Structure 1
């Protein structure tokens, strides 16, 4: 018994030390990048990367192994996944689809959303097909290429929302179109990712794949009809008062997110989809979403998210890229940037926006960050993204997000803020 208690205490001390390093590094990175005019989340991502083999693990390999082990400990891995379930609930709950008041804005949003998904997905899929022989030998070529397509197609709604607030675009027409198009982008992206994950984890026989996809479709129907009205009744019976979620309702929300996470896991896709689905059930209740952000959201971002970023950083080795890999990295980054900005610009121009507002929309939709890392880790967990491509796509996520701030500072002063949504005569 004494030995068991001692082992538990040793494990606890090890995990606590890791948490101290992760949370401290994330806060330092957040503060530094905010001072440089970048989103704090990007600083947290970079901090996570520096703790991995790209810097700390390379300079101090023995200390890195002593601190994090040769592989992430199960306790840290589980904490990162619980954090993602809660974060995905928060993202789903915070989605706003009702901002589009006019038919013109709805049309512009669809014009922007469709090519912002289709074009980068096609480019990523093409890169996957061409690079499979050299970068993913022995892997299923189709699934590898599909994951590459999703990786290029995603847009990061949470970070984009913070950028819109920082640049005072949240209530502006450009901001409404951008966040709404990004929300559509992410919903479609998550559905595609769920389908691909279900297909990838099946035995790849037609019958098994059809059964998995059918079960997923049934799950989505159950969300829409029995569960969404039930969610409305829950909020009506236990309403948010004075900006606070009642403890009983908070307990129900947590249990519901975890139950749906188990359901999506049993469906053959990742548990975090369950958290996202649970959040979508409550997206119409703005008071609840805002109260969750105040009560739970801050803790999720400060405690759980750095664990996930470090978990990603420990799997990313920038120094492991060869000279030949640098060429592929260039192709991936250029395709990701061009595949977002150019089609969004053309779609916005076709919707009647002037050149600079259209380019601003393209820059906003190019933001990837956190959502990209979630997609990449899913592909890596399933074994359909090799370490080299995983690293390239992590670099792409950081680069495309870092670009957004400087591009906006360049474009917005010249876009004549009072006139930046002017349509061409």
Structure 2
């Protein structure tokens, strides 16, 4: 008895997928480089690559080609989504591997105060804004409270990759403000991924006392399992991979751990990106890790998979929706809440830690950058049906605008910090303080 052959991908479907990937990558890399040339985060250009190919531009300019390249058939778009999902899981894993927890230990209570204040205030304001937005912006069947909680999570996250790149470009990465910003962002990242997983689980199973308890306990259980069981397993796997002088085994083991962790949390009804993040942290904090051997994985993810993912995210934006007054008003309100909430929260946390107003403003500017993480949160919301096309577009706009705001505000704040330092020292020109210099009494 002959077995039934496994179906293969249709010739036309493969052709469309290859052209989609090639065109998205070409535009994402080109516009990403153009954005970098103008001192903007590359993610801005990568998102606009998708905007050009999506309903905002290409569908109006060349509708026939747009329908051929991005057909309405779900099966064809699922192929592109599958590539994007692989990219985002590995991107989140790499992000977890690169978190500097030693910064949190060194900066201690100051980083925690800045982070928690910069997280809780926008979270609360985001939830309140979500409850006040018109119900017409919510997809049918979406629980208003789940939407409000999700919007709160979207408002409170920060984006370490964008923050780190901005600080590096401005030579602030090793300055006191830069170190505090990164340390605070680490705490934000950890709490943000946890909250995203909780709210996503609530959206999947509904809001009841039992499901809320399970949504809270499952992520805690995952973290405990990772610490007690996952950590020694990761250590053994990396030790075995290190026996090879080549980076290949280490790259393969790291990718395998991230994918298995993603599958595990997804099976539990949590977000797959939560598992990827937890496993990335386990890999990054393992004493067996040889970071040099992970460079090929990092390069592949950041130079190939991530640009395709962000371009795919841009495809789902519909800027023409902003022509509707209700959508435009909601976009302005959400953006204002996102910016004011993060700035005010980080400012309050910094002032409680004894920093002056310009240092507090610089911290707020750094923490305000949403970038990569905001896009991932928006894509999760769209996939779960929590967000519709309008609210998705609004949240992506928040990611873009806040990422563009960070450099100029940081430059202005740092100029005043250095000016004040020169005045206090009685100097006409001063040398910027770094971590090796004795901190002032206020820090």
Q: Sort the Cα spacing of 1:204 and 1:354 in 2 relative to 1 into closer, same or farther, 3 A.
A: closer
1:422 to partner: Cα distance: 4.4
**Helix, strand or coil: the match of 1:308?**
helix
1:411 to partner: Cα distance: 2.6
Deviations 1:334-389 (A, max 9, x none): 11111111221232122122222221111000000111011011111111112211
1:262 to partner: Cα distance: 1.2
Once superposed, what is the RMSD of the aligned Cα atoms?
A: 2.4
Counterpart CA distance in 2 for 1:254 and 1:424 is 44
Corresponding residue of 1:76 = 80
Corresponding residue of 1:418 = 432
Q: Are 1:366 and 2:368 counterparts? A: yes
Corresponding residue of 1:348 = 350
Where in structure 2 are there 5+ consecutive unaligned residues? Answer: 419-430
Corresponding residue of 2:405 = 403
Corresponding residue of 2:308 = 307
Corresponding residue of 2:164 = 161
Q: Sort the Cα spacing of 1:295 and 1:196 in 2 relative to 1 into closer, same or farther, 3 A.
A: same
State whether residues 89 and 280 of structure 1, in contact with CA within 8 Å, keep that contact through their aligned partners in structure 2: yes
Counterpart CA distance in 2 for 1:272 and 1:229 is 22
**Helix, strand or coil: the match of 2:354?**
coil
Counterpart CA distance in 1 for 2:305 and 2:363 is 31
1:76 to partner: Cα distance: 0.8
1:287 to partner: Cα distance: 8.4
Q: Are 1:27 and 2:29 counterparts? A: yes
Task: Please give the residue correspondences for 1:182-201 in structure 2 after superposition, counting only pairs within 5 Å.
Answer: 182-201=185-204
State whether residues 162 and 371 of structure 2, in contact with CA within 8 Å, keep that contact through their aligned partners in structure 1: yes
1:254 to partner: Cα distance: 2.1
State whether residues 283 and 289 of structure 1, in contact with CA within 8 Å, keep that contact through their aligned partners in structure 2: no
Counterpart CA distance in 1 for 2:121 and 2:243 is 42
State whether residues 258 and 275 of structure 1, in contact with CA within 8 Å, keep that contact through their aligned partners in structure 2: yes
Counterpart CA distance in 2 for 1:205 and 1:346 is 35
Counterpart CA distance in 2 for 1:162 and 1:220 is 29
State whether residues 117 and 348 of structure 2, in contact with CA within 8 Å, keep that contact through their aligned partners in structure 1: no
Corresponding residue of 1:97 = 101
Q: Are 1:59 and 2:73 counterparts? A: no
Counterpart CA distance in 2 for 1:266 and 1:194 is 13
Deviations 1:182-212 (A, max 9, x none): 1110110110111111121115443345445
Where in structure 1 are there 5+ consecutive unaligned residues? Answer: none
Q: After TM superposition, which residue ranges in structure 1, 4 or more long, deviate above 4 angstroms?
A: 419-425
Q: Are 1:142 and 2:145 counterparts? A: yes
Deviations 1:277-308 (A, max 9, x none): 21111222488474365211121122212222
TM-score of the two chains, using structure 1 as the length reference: 0.91
Q: Are 1:330 and 2:344 counterparts? A: no
Counterpart CA distance in 2 for 1:405 and 1:292 is 32
Counterpart CA distance in 2 for 1:47 and 1:145 is 30
Counterpart CA distance in 1 for 2:11 and 2:290 is 38
Q: What is the aligned length?
A: 418
Q: Sort the Cα spacing of 1:69 and 1:286 in 2 relative to 1 into closer, same or farther, 3 A.
A: farther
Q: Are 1:255 and 2:256 counterparts? A: yes
Residues 400-409 or 52-61, more deviating: 52-61
State whether residues 238 and 288 of structure 2, in contact with CA within 8 Å, keep that contact through their aligned partners in structure 1: no
Task: Please give the residue correspondences for 1:95-134 in structure 2 after superposition, counting only pairs within 5 Å.
Answer: 95-100=99-104, 102=106, 105-134=107-136
Q: Sort the Cα spacing of 1:214 and 1:108 in 2 relative to 1 into closer, same or farther, 3 A.
A: closer
State whether residues 85 and 258 of structure 1, in contact with CA within 8 Å, keep that contact through their aligned partners in structure 2: yes
State whether residues 216 and 267 of structure 1, in contact with CA within 8 Å, keep that contact through their aligned partners in structure 2: no
Counterpart CA distance in 2 for 1:293 and 1:115 is 34
**Helix, strand or coil: the match of 1:98?**
helix
Counterpart CA distance in 2 for 1:172 and 1:99 is 12
**Helix, strand or coil: the match of 2:101?**
coil
Q: Sort the Cα spacing of 1:169 and 1:94 in 2 relative to 1 into closer, same or farther, 3 A.
A: same
Deviations 1:122-166 (A, max 9, x none): 111001111153422642011000011011001001111111211
Pairing partner for 2:230 from 227, 230, 234? 227
